[in-house]
Amino acid sequence: MTGRTGARPTLNLAQGAKATRILGVGSTQPDRIVTNDELSQHMDTNDQWIRDRVGIVERRFADKDERVVDMAVTAGAKALADAGVAPSEVDTVIVPNCTMPSPIPNAAAQVADRIGIKAAGAFDLNAACAGFCYGLGVASDLVRAGSASRVLVIGAEKLTDVVDPTDRSTAIIFADGAGAALVGPSEEPGIGPVAWGSAGDLVDMIYMREHRYIFQEGQPVFRWATTQIAPVAMRAVELAGLELSDIDVLIPHQANLRIVEAIAKRLRAKGARDDMVVADDIRYSGNTSSASIPLALDHMRAAGTIERGDVVLAVGFGAGLSYAGQVFICP
């Protein structure tokens, strides 16, 4: 649990804007645990090499018949239960993802129907690993504008469908899972403005090779992330009208433990507190792209390492290169 005492800081909003907050969260992971030792049976690697390079101890792989939609339904239903909100009270579903096997039909409409959210506005959003921040920003703005009352945002990925199981540069990193957040109106601001952007000139750094497997230039991606993501995070804090010292919890997209630690170090050097909690969910969940931030949030809350009312800074980047940061209050 965080060690803050005294009054909580108040997030900034544009004059006249409605306030929104996260009402509830939920997540799910496949049952199958895949260790580093198991991967070493299929490629030239070992447990210590993987721990040193990316910080992962184990990850979860979905079964062949377990789909993106299935995981999204489970996580979304848990978020509704956590919020105490019935499906009939939700009117919009957004599913950030980059691993649906086909763009038509989208995941969101299927998820909404299976959860029991009828006639919902439903769409998928592809900003890869930055997808959850993009989706949370869109959901918050829909509620603020009056276009929606409650929006369910579910980051869900089955990355094992698009990873070459023999390629140690990707197979050791990526995994499967889903995390969800329900966004609704609030008397006090609970979600700050999103700071987002893209670097389209760098699309060759992370992309789908021959429309089948993820390819990434490991070292250039690492250098880009460790130098460019901290400023995005600081911009998100600025837009929320806060200081870095106000942040209780940092949840970077769980891309690589060395990247996570480098971002945290840069933010502390710029004014973040030494006792700021930093998510390291990647150790046991792997990189789940758009699902990684809500998965980490749900896991940390369940473990008691963060608590209701904590000020959370989330930031992510992914193929595109799309990136985003956002401040929100832990539900």
Residues labelled catalytic: 129, 253, 287
Contact call for residues 258 and 55 (beta carbons, < 8 A): yes
Contact (Cβ atoms closer than 8 angstroms) between residue 192 and residue 325 = no
CB of 55 closer than 8 Å to CB of 256: yes
Among 198, 180, 185, which residue's Cα sits nearest to residue 107?
180
- Structure tokens, 94: 């957004």
Q: Count Cβ neighbours within 10 Å for each residue of 1-35 and write b for 16 or more, e otherwise.
A: ebebeeeebebebeeeeebbbbbbbbbbbbeeebe
Is the dihedral angle over the CA atoms 95, 99, 103, 109 positive or is it negative? negative
Label residue 311 left, alpha or beta by phi (over 0 means left) and psi (-120 to 50 means alpha).
Answer: beta
